[in-house]
Amino acid sequence: MAGKKAHLAGLSKVSLFSSCSNKDLEKISKAGDEVVLDAGSTIVDQGQTGREAFVLLKGSATVRRNGKKVATLGPGAVIGELSLLDHGPRTATVVADSDCTMLVISQRQFLGVIDAIPALAHKLLGTLAGRIRELDRQYYG
């Protein structure tokens, strides 16, 4: 099992949490559970309802959308982060390329952290707005 420092290091690399303080990251880390998945395991399945997100602490995974490979993820990547905000369908399938150690954070646990640290919601809204602006620039120029 990875230690607390590994969790904080992994969370600090996640763009969604990039503006969070160490104190905020500690609360997020405490809200999650560490899991280990074997190579070949499906982490999330496109179209299925999501209720949690995964922070990849160790290992690698492949992201496929409509069967087409769109990315390879490594430590510090977040998988299924939109499910922290809604119960919408997964937008891609992600499969572990190697044995993976992950921090799993359920929506319920994460919303509890936001209730405990209201300023975290403001930080997350700013981060998400930045991501939307970047996608807008990529799409429209």
Q: Which is higher by pLDDT, 48 or 78?
A: 48
Q: Which two structure tokens, joined as six digits, stand for 12?
A: 């600090």
Report the amino acid identity of residue 22.
Answer: N
What are the pLDDT digits (tens) for 64-91? 999 999 999 998 888 988 877 888 899 8
Per-residue confidence (pLDDT) for residue 2, from 0 to 100: 55
What are the pLDDT digits (tens) for 7-30? 787 788 777 777 778 888 888 888
Backbone angles phi, psi at 83, to 5 degrees: -70, -15
Per-residue confidence (pLDDT) for residue 42, from 0 to 100: 98
Per-residue confidence (pLDDT) for residue 104, from 0 to 100: 94
Per-residue confidence (pLDDT) for residue 3, from 0 to 100: 65
Long-range contacts of 121-124 (CB under 8 A, 24+ apart): 123/19, 123/20, 123/24, 124/16, 124/17
Domains and CATH numbers, the chain: 4-140 (2.60.120.10)
How many CB atoms are closer than 10 A to CB 100?
Answer: 26
Whole-model pTM: value is: 0.81
* Mean of per-residue pLDDT scores for the chain: 87
Per-residue confidence (pLDDT) for residue 87, from 0 to 100: 82
Determine how β-strand 42-44 pairs with β-strand 68-73: unpaired
